[in-house]
């Protein structure tokens, strides 16, 4: 069939009462914001020495399709005295000892935009401020912890005991400009 005969065929169908109708549908969508935060497993730091102790790099990975902030804070225990300092912890029960012992110094951290060790607090502190959108595999940020152990800090000798502190990371996308 030639092009002209196809036209005549369609025209003939229309004349015979067979209507031909077309319609279109517009498919619209938006892309939902995507953000993934991956933190390292719990850090078992081992036996610390008297003086300053610095951890190995704790790598935090963020995957984001927009600019983002990365923040860090200490999750306080129930005791007001131990809000910022590592506290005696029962590793078998996965809980802090009520009225347990504390380390006399505050855990410090650095990484990302923060190049000098600073005390961890119970308020979020910026690790990265307005970091750009990441590649598909994300962006890694190394965090280091530092803790000074003094002669007055008691060594724990009981079974299933260690000092611990809970650290929380938060990633939030910044508002597009």
Beta-carbon contacts of 39 under 8 Å, excluding residues fewer than 6 positions away, are 58, 60, 169
Position 114 scores a pLDDT of 96
Report CA 166 to chain centroid distance, whole Å.
14
* Total-model pTM: 0.81
Which residues of the chain carry a pLDDT beneath 50?
A: 177
Which neighbouring-strand residues pair with 149? 51
Q: Tell me which H or E stretch contains 15.
A: helix 3-15
Domain boundaries of the chain, sorted by first residue = 26-173
Architecture of domain 26-173: Sandwich (2.60)
Token digits of residue 127: 């690790």
In tens, the pLDDT along 125-177 reads 999 999 999 999 999 999 999 999 999 999 998 889 999 999 999 999 987 54
């Amino acid at each position: 069939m030639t092009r002209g005969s196809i036209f005549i065929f369609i025209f003939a169908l229309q004349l015979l009462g067979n209507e031909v109708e077309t319609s279109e549908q517009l498919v619209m969508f938006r892309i939902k914001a995507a953000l993934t935060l991956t933190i390292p497993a719990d850090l078992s730091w081992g036996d610390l020495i008297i003086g300053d102790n610095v951890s190995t790099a704790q790598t935090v990975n963020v995957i984001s399709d927009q600019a983002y902030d990365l923040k860090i804070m200490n999750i306080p225990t129930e005791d007001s005295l131990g809000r910022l300092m590592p506290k005696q912890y029962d590793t078998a029960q996965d809980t802090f000892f009520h009225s347990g012992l504390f380390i006399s110094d505050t855990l410090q951290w650095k990484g990302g935009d923060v190049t000098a060790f600073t005390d961890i607090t119970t308020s979020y502190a910026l690790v990265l401020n307005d970091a750009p959108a990441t590649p598909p595999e994300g962006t890694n940020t190394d965090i280091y912890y530092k803790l000074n152990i003094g002669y007055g800090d008691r060594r724990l000798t009981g079974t299933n005991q260690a000092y611990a502190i809970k650290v929380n990371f938060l990633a939030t996308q910044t508002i597009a400009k």
